[in-house]
Amino acid sequence: MSITFSTTASSKTTPCRWCEEARQELRAGAQWVQAVINGEWIKEGQVVSEDQMKDVRCDFHCRGTITESIAPEVNLATGNARSLFGLLGLAFEEGGEIEASSMMQCVMVALNSDRSGAVVEPSETPGGHAPSRILNVDGMPTIQRMGPPVVNMGRSDDSIVCRLTELRTLAEWSINNSDGIITWG
């Protein structure tokens, strides 16, 4: 699970780069290209005329263009987001909104405050530390330990500062280029 912070922004539409790569491969004489034309997969050795190239798509669902937001976004694992909310002085919610100017103030306070409580040292828990169960093996009760290894990459002060800086950049962008509202969910 993750939480993405974003802002309302205009978007840009560009030609799909994967469709264009498929067209380039076909023009170069490739014998097999994973692409679709007129709702059918292109077959090995199939010749596609230049007139048909405009109809070549990388996938059945592709319309030939990609619409992308031009605004920055910040995506955080839920645990990291929860920690950042605490540093920002905000109650954790899985979805919500805040004025970008308020977010900027919260970020500036967090950048100039003690963040040591949010730092987490890396750790590793070997497999078999989850609950166990008792099996009957050859008439003998046997304890089977369960669970995969768990690796926690930790959260350094540098990574916290990096994420706070990304939020500051998002807030600045929202104030200067958008409606001044930051949403998350």
With 80 as the cut, is the pLDDT of residue 9 above it?
A: no
Stronger pLDDT, 163 or 139, i.e. the higher one: 163
Could you tell me if 97 and 90 are in contact, meaning their C-beta atoms sit under 8 angstroms apart? Answer: no
Percent over 90 (pLDDT), the chain: 55
Q: Kindly give, in sequence order, each residue whose CB lies less than 8 Å from that of residue 167, ignoring residues fewer than 6 positions away.
A: 5, 74, 84, 88, 103, 107
pLDDT of residue 176: 93
Hey, how many other C-beta atoms are within 10 angstroms of the C-beta on 22? Answer: 25
Residue 38: pLDDT band with limits 50, 70, 90: confident
pLDDT of residue 132: 80
Q: What is the pLDDT of residues 146-183, one digit of tens each?
A: 888 888 899 999 999 999 999 999 999 999 998 999 99
Q: What is the pLDDT of residues 79-118, one digit of tens each?
A: 999 999 999 999 998 899 999 999 999 999 999 999 999 9
Quick check: pTM over 0.85?
no
With 90 as the cut, is the pLDDT of residue 139 above it?
A: no
pLDDT of residue 89: 95
Dihedral sign (CA 127, 158, 8, 97):
positive
pLDDT of residue 143: 84
Specify the 3-state DSSP secondary structure of 115.
Answer: coil
pLDDT of residue 83: 94
- Measured distance CA(75)–CA(29) in Å, rounded: 41
Q: What is the pLDDT of residues 19-29, one digit of tens each?
A: 999 999 989 98
With 90 as the cut, is the pLDDT of residue 135 above it?
A: no
